[in-house]
């Protein structure tokens, strides 16, 4: 792995595909154990989580379902500011064991706004699986039940994550070079 260029910026190798997959197998084993005898519903958040969700779900050996949603932010009333809404949630989640699958928790804003909405639909339980977490950037604290990697507050690309639309197809994770910060 060597330095790559995405748009105008340079990125250096950060996590190999093997490191990512080894970690995913550990998370999946935890989920398989925690949800044994249950039939969890994985709700993966597009676009960023598609690769993580795919690799994670392949390691799930218990009965489980998966669906994919997109979160859209629109301008609500003056008091509510921007409101996040789910597009494409066509599953009934009442009484379900829900596992949210997210690529990265950065500020935590997205999930902090969205999770209460899901909670209104009365799932039996709700947990979060995130591949990456940047604790230094998180201003809306969140309990991440299944976490891949804690990473420094640096922009990363690859493995589903993009920089302005590009880089999602890269198998590994790269991070912004120092001089690019």
Give 31 or 101: the residue with its C-beta nearer to ligand IMP.
101
CB of 167 to ligand IMP, least distance (A): 8
Minimal CA–CA distance to 159: which of 111, 148, 2? 148
Residue 92 annotated as catalytic: no
- Nearest distance from C-beta of residue 7 to ligand IMP, angstroms: 13
- Nearer to ligand IMP by Cβ, of 35 and 160: the residue is 160
Binding site residues, ligand IMP, CB under 6 A: 48, 102-110, 155-157, 161
Pairwise CA distance, residues 166 & 157, whole Å: 8
Which residues, in sequence order, are bridge partners of residue 147? 130
Output helix, strand, coil percentages for the chain, rounded to the nearest 5.
Answer: 25, 35, 40
- Among 106, 145, 162, 164, which one carries the catalytic annotation? 106
Distance of CA 25 to CAs 48, 59, 81, Å? 19, 6, 39
Give the nearest distance from C-beta 51 to ligand IMP in angstroms: 12
Specify whether the CB–CB gap between 159 and 52 falls below 8 A: yes
- Give the residue with the Cβ less far from ligand IMP, 108 or 123: 108
Q: Which active-site residues does the annotation give? A: 106
């Amino acid at each position: 792995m060597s330095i790559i260029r995405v748009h105008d910026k340079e990125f250096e190798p950060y996590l190999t595909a093997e490191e990512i997959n080894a970690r995913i197998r550990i998370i999946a084993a935890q989920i398989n154990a925690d949800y044994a005898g249950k039939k969890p519903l994985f709700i993966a958040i597009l676009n960023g989580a598609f690769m993580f969700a795919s690799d994670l779900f392949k390691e799930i050996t218990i009965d489980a379902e998966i669906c994919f949603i997109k979160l859209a932010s629109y301008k609500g009333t003056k008091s509510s500011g921007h409101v996040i809404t789910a597009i494409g949630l066509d599953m009934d989640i009442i009484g379900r064991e829900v596992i949210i699958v997210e690529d990265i928790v950065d500020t935590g804003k997205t999930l902090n706004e969205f999770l209460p909405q899901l909670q209104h639909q009365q799932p039996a339980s709700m947990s979060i699986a995130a591949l990456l977490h940047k604790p230094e950037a998180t201003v809306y604290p969140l309990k991440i039940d299944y976490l891949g990697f804690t990473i420094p507050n640096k922009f990363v690309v690859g493995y589903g994550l993009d920089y302005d639309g590009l880089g999602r197809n890269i198998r590994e994770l790269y991070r912004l070079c120092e001089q690019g910060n």
